[in-house]
A and B are shown apart, each in its own frame.
Chain A
Amino acid sequence: MEDLRFQHSVRTRAGGARQSAIVGVVASGNLEVLVERVLPDAECAIEIRTAAVGFGEVWTAVIGDFVERYSPGGLRFSINDGGARPDTVSLRLAQAVRLITENGQ
């Protein structure tokens, strides 16, 4: 297992009112993302616990692109990764943002 942490300053707060959301599953080649609205509006944090060791550089690139694209201000993401491919990671993160920025509960 490897633990990784990323913190980014972002331009804008993520929309919506929902406080938390969860997407994905913990399984080999897949991942689970818990997202919570617990940070100041201009901050974003991503904590990763991954089964695949040695992919730090790839994570840095994936997370950098994700933050740039979605500006998820105020959100903390906790990722439980079963060695998912980077494209699956990007997709789950995007799904998590979509879910928490939806209106309603």
Chain B
Amino acid sequence: MTSWQNNRATRDARIAAGGGLARGKVVEAGNATRLLEAVIRPGDRICLEGDNQKQADLLSRALLAVDLSRVNDLHMVQSGVVLPEHLDLFDRGVAKRLDYAYSGPQSARIARMLFGGKIELGAVHTYLELFARYFIDLTPHVALIAAVSADHDGNLYTGPNTEDTPTVVEATAFKDGIVIAQVNEIVEQVPRVDIPADRVHFVVKSDKPFFVEPLFTRDPAAITEGQILTAMLAIKGIYAPYGVQRLNHGIGFSTAAIELLLPTFGERLGLKGKIATHFALNPHPALIPAIESGWVRQIHSFGSEVGMDDYIRARSDVYFTGPDGSLRSNRAFCQTAGLYACDMFIGSTLQIDLQGNSSTVTTSRIAGFGGAPNMGADARGRRHPSEPWLKAGAESDPDGSPLMRRGRKLVVQIGETFGDKNVPLFVEKLDAIELAEKLELELAPIMIYGDDVTHIVTEEGVANLLLCRTAQEREHAIRGVAGYTDVGRRRDHRMVAHLRERGVIRRPEDLGINPLDADRSLLAARSIKDLVRWSGGLYAPPSKFRNW
């Protein structure tokens, strides 16, 4: 007779196998490896919670120590490859195949391992794309997650860094998978229930808190005059004319400069309340002065940021918080919000080519994409109008029928023409293409496709690609803001002058901005200590950002 409940039977068998090591659901940290050996089977799809920030580090180490005769050839499906242990798993043979989205700190090693054949790569995804596949063809058999606390039933409190946890648990627990949580403490009652107990099968108490990286803290002291100038151009050349109220910022210094210019330069331009009021954004410390000055109405967050907990708790009108008062973040929802409900994404990249394609992949580093491709793409399913979206749509298709014309999301790449060590931002050919050729990938790892990019801002000016009518115009709009890079110096001066007359390229002087005014005194905060002061002492920066 056909059975239709094989997976449920397998789940029950796994729970029974691990049950011998547990009291109720609780397993001692010392038994974590034995638990994984009991529950996991060779070839399983495993989601080892490696988020953008929060890491199930105890469970990573426990998985790395398994007996290879019992656990091997795993298929890791996780959004972040962040800890060294995440890659040690492949070196040791515990895991074989990888599907992921982001690999910030491990980007150089992951490149070496891909070239060395140590990792069988499925694909580099965007966050939403990988989450989507959790529900279709990459559903985890076992999820290893991290939370702040659990009660004795297994209800979990994730703390402000909820991040990917609800999504991972949803996909795993409701498709007969096993959910194992590491927690910092076991308590009588959790402050709020982020994950209900009936979705959690085992709880391991860690002897130290899970690792969280402060990824979104930019020290204002490191912001350069070039970045300030670029930020001024973006505010006056894009935010103001389009009236961008709903947006997402990248994590670079240029966007941190924008955040710090809102209460000064932005205020002088009379833009308060007209721009930058609603964000899909992590709790960036650099946004504190704008929040305190009454610029920002609402922020939904992908994750949290180290040191911001008390500030967020005290500013619940702005942030999303639970009944306990602490931040509730959610990466999947915030990515969706950024994709469908924001009119602009503005962020930096490492390379831009002559078509406007951009990538953070270089021949020696595969950083993954994270959220940028979702933030930095037109949502083809969007149907609600807004002023910036309609205006951008009209610029790209001036002859189209207003009632039938799609709007366009503003996708802005911002950066200085030369990056660290004078490496040019603009290139004739992306390293990503070379990498794809070498690794024989079917697709080059492009972060944002050129046809989604609407503007490029550098210290030399703003290029509006929506107004370009031919590939040649587009190329010269890009060359025209590429400064003294090879790409910039190979411009046709007449063509660039013509594009400037048409307003496709706008220089600082065209926008009434004197580069000599781009001074650090314009920054609302010039140090981390200034940010603490703005927050009324509520922001508690991690020690690596303290110099007092």
Contact = CB atoms under 8 A, between A and B. Distances in A.
Interface in A51-81: 52, 55, 57-58, 61-62
Contact of A95 (B460, B483, B516): B516
B416 A52 contact: no
Interface of A: 52, 55, 57-58, 61-62, 83, 85-88, 90-91, 94-95, 98
Size category of the B interface is: 10 to 19
A28 to B, nearest CB: 10
15 contacts: A55-B422, A57-B489, A58-B489, A85-B417, A86-B418, A87-B416, A87-B459, A87-B460, A87-B484, A88-B224, A90-B515, A91-B515, A94-B515, A94-B516, A95-B516
A79 B483 CA distance: 21
A87 B226 CA distance: 7
Contacts of A87: 226, 229, 416-418, 459-460, 483-484
Prevailing SS type, chain A contact patch: helix
Contacts of B515: 90-91, 94
A83 B224 contact: no
B526 to A, nearest CB: 16
Interface string B506-539: 0000000001101000000000000000000000
Contacts of B459: 87
Interface string B472-497: 00000000000110000100000000
Contacts of A90: 515
Contacts of A95: 516
Contacts of A85: 226, 416-418, 422
B226 A61 contact: no
B194 interface: no
Nearest to B423: A85
B185 interface: no
A92 to B, nearest CB: 9
Nearest to A57: B489
A85 B458 CA distance: 13
Contacts of A61: 484, 489
B516 A86 contact: no
B309 interface: no
Given A85-B226, A85-B422, 16 more contacts: A57-B489, A58-B484, A61-B489, A85-B417, A85-B418, A87-B229, A87-B418, A87-B459, A87-B483, A88-B225, A88-B226, A91-B225, A91-B226, A91-B516, A94-B515, A94-B516
